[in-house]
A and B are shown apart, each in its own frame.
Chain A
Amino acid sequence: MSIFKGLGTVVKHLLEDPVTISYPEVERPVRERFKGKHALKRYDNGLEKCIGCALCAAACPADAIWVEAAENTDEERYSPGERYAKTYEINMLRCIFCGYCEDACPTEAIVLEHEYRLSFTDRRDSIYTKEMLIDAPPDGVPETPQKVEPGAFDRAIPDMENPK
């Protein structure tokens, strides 16, 4: 009798659908809090959130981030406040996607998003520059640097909504 019981299990599994996800064609959605490739964010007026403080670089356990800051002027304004990130580089092969940079950022400029397809044939390609990381400005808003009214963006952190 036990042989039929065993065969029953086999037949039951034969009739089941396979569990395989054919990855390149079908993608399994990642979790809400999944940490993938970084993105540098902008305010609604197109200014960059990053103020070049390099706290992310200090928090990074793998030393994957390199930030160089430069001074903002009202003629050439990249971000609110005194300084902006002139160079912002992340080595994707060093980065361990822990999200400490996200936690350290005072302006919520850097966010780890859901893109995970990161394969390189050359190690040099793994260094993502600011141009590759930064989000495009919202529709109808000019690209940075912008020319702004003097004194309009003196504070580094404008009035922000509370974190959710």
Chain B
Amino acid sequence: MGVSEKLGQLGVVTTTLEQAVNWGRTRAMWPMLFGLACCAIEMMSTQAGHYDLSRFGMELMRPSPRQSDLMIVAGRVSRKMAPVLRQLYDQMPAPKWVISMGDCASCGGVFNNYAIVQGVDEIVPVDVYVAGCPPRPEQLVHGIITLHEKVKEMYWNEWAKSE
């Protein structure tokens, strides 16, 4: 936090560096496996040969929060799962991003009831919502590209303040 806040006020040097860093972040954004329902099947096929997330530097999904930058919440989050999800999110090192994949994760989808969290943004800050039930692998890839666009516009000043 300290360094990035100071660096954020150095003008043209850091603007270029910022772009380089943001570019770097988009090229190797390791996702955390968080498959909860049928969306996970589509997430697996996005990872597999035909769509191959390795093209975006996401070599493999790993269920290890300390080594990941991106949490893809794929599927419906029950009330009982919510604290677990939050804990895993807290364990991820910053900067970290969240993609809410599919209808159920984004806003509950068809499961408008007491057992399902009506959108994971009740628990964690979500960067990109991907619609679909479940989304096609292309839709998830499109969501990831949307996230890349968002990350490329991130500024350290704002980022440091939000921490």
Q: How far is the CB of B139 from chain A (nearest CB, A)?
A: 5
Q: Which residues of A contact B142 (CB under 8 A)?
A: 23-24, 116-119
A20–B51 touching, CB < 8 Å = yes
B131–A118 touching, CB < 8 Å = yes
B129–A126 touching, CB < 8 Å = yes
A123 to B52 CA separation, bound complex (whole angstroms): 28
Q: How far is the CB of B117 from chain A (nearest CB, A)?
A: 14
Q: A96-B133, A119-B146, A121-B127 are in contact. Are A24 and B141 (CB under 8 A)?
A: yes
Tell me what chain A mostly uses at the interface: helix, strand, loop, or mixed.
loop
Encode A65-105 as 1/0 by CB contact (under 8 A) with B.
00000000000000000000000000111111110000000
Does A162 reach chain B (CB closer than 8 Å)?
Answer: no
A-B contact sample (18 more), CB < 8 A, given A28-B138, A119-B128, A119-B131: A20-B50, A23-B138, A62-B103, A62-B109, A62-B112, A91-B107, A93-B109, A93-B131, A95-B103, A118-B131, A118-B142, A119-B130, A119-B139, A119-B146, A121-B128, A121-B129, A121-B146, A121-B150
Chain A contacts to B: CB under 8 angstroms:
18-24, 27-28, 30, 61-63, 91-98, 116-121, 123, 126
| 6 nearest A-B residue pairs (beta carbon) | A96-B133, A118-B131, A119-B143, A119-B146, A93-B106, A62-B110
